């Protein structure tokens, strides 16, 4: 369960304070798929980076599985991020000089999973997201955008996170591939009971998620 209470994030801009997230409260039950929509500049990415503890809120509370993320100190936060949260980005963010398998194995290495288990789980996840054995040995530059995003999803799942955060995961894909990626995320949310929060511009995709939050000028509407 993800619970956000009275979340506020202000930035000090050149022309004064900018309130990017303004007193937001919502809940997403475990295993549910939530989408966030809203115009450019409405605060979607800022909200997501707060949820992922990549940035600290000005005030308010974020609870994930009963843990108050906003109260964690840095070294605990780094562990928490690595273990409990999977990130998926618009630009895939795969490590270019590692193969698909190695990319999926990397977060497990940071989590001190044994080499054999890392390899076993990476292959299992890549099979699950539909990356064939031949493609698992390729570097990202030799995979299509949709395939790279599949690898990124496998990587996000590697440490069995309780929460997956995706910022425009289909933003660089054609609409049909985008739908396939969303269906994949949806199936995984259900089978692994993972909560997913995904930002999207595609209203037809947002309409298929369990719940949709709309942001306007940093507030939920």
Ligand X SMILES: Nc1ncnc2c1ncn2[C@@H]1O[C@H](COP(=O)(O)OP(=O)(O)OP(=O)(O)O)[C@@H](O)[C@H]1O
Q: Of the candidates 8, 18, 123, 211, which one interacts with ligand X according to CB under 6 A? A: 18
SS3 content of the chain, % helix, strand, coil (to 5): 40, 30, 30
Examine residue 32 and tell whether it contacts Mg ion (CB under 5 A).
no
Q: Which of residues 45-74 bind Mg ion (CB under 5 A)?
A: 45
Q: Which residues contact 3 (CB under 8 A, 6 or more apart)?
A: 27, 61, 62, 63
- Distance separating alpha carbons of residues 144 and 76, to the nearest angstrom: 36
- Distance separating alpha carbons of residues 138 and 132, to the nearest angstrom: 10
Nearer to Mg ion, 40 or 116 (CB): 40
Q: Which residues contact 121 (CB under 8 A, 6 or more apart)?
A: 104, 108, 113, 158
Beta bridge partners of 85: 163
Nearer to ligand X, 23 or 192 (CB): 23
Nearer to Mg ion, 162 or 170 (CB): 170
Q: Of the candidates 2, 4, 24, 43, which one interacts with ligand X according to CB under 6 A? A: 43
Q: By the 8 A CB rule, do 119 and 170 touch? A: no
Which of ligand X, Mg ion, none lies near 35, with the C-beta cut-off 5 to 8 A by kind?
none
Examine residue 45 and tell whether it contacts ligand X (CB under 6 A).
yes
DSSP codes of every residue in 109-143: HHTT--HHHHHHHHHHHHHHTT--HHHHTS-GGGS
> Which of 36-44, 114-122, 148-156, 212-220 is the region at the interface with Mg ion (rule: CB under 5 A)?
36-44
**Closest CB 218 distance from ligand X, rounded Å:** 7
Nearer to ligand X, 43 or 86 (CB): 43
The CA radius of gyration of the chain, in Å to the nearest whole number, is: 17
Examine residue 38 and tell whether it contacts ligand X (CB under 6 A).
yes
Examine residue 141 and tell whether it contacts ligand X (CB under 6 A).
no
Within the chain, how many helices (H) and strands (E) appear? 8, 10
Which of ligand X, Mg ion, none lies near 2, with the C-beta cut-off 5 to 8 A by kind?
none
Per-residue x/- track, 46-85, ligand X (CB under 6 A): x---------------------------------------
User: Residue numbers of the site for Mg ion (CB under 5 A)?
Assistant: 44-45
User: Residue numbers of the site for ligand X (CB under 6 A)?
Assistant: 11, 13, 18, 20, 38, 40-46
């Amino acid at each position: 369960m993800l619970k956000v209470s009275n979340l506020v994030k202000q930035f000090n801009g050149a022309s004064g304070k900018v309130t990017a997230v303004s007193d937001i409260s919502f809940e997403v039950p475990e295993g549910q798929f939530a989408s966030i929509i809203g115009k450019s500049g409405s605060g979607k990415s800022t909200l997501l980076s707060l949820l992922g503890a990549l940035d600290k809120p000005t005030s308010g509370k974020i609870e994930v599985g009963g843990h108050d993320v906003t109260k964690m100190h840095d070294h605990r936060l780094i562990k928490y991020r690595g273990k409990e949260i999977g990130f998926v980005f618009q630009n895939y963010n795969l490590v270019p000089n590692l193969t698909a398998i190695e990319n999926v194995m990397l977060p497990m290495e940071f989590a001190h999973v044994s080499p054999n288990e890392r390899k076993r789980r990476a292959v299992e996840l890549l099979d699950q997201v539909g990356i064939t054995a031949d493609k698992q040995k390729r570097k990202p530059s030799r995979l299509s955008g949709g395939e790279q995003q599949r690898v990124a999803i496998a990587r996000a799942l590697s440490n069995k996170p309780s929460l997956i955060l995706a910022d425009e995961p289909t933003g660089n894909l054609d609409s049909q591939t985008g739908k396939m990626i969303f269906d994949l995320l949806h199936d995984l949310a259900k089978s692994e009971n993972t909560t997913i929060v995904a930002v999207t511009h595609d209203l037809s995709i947002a309409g298929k998620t369990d719940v949709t939050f709309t942001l306007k000028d940093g507030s939920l509407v």
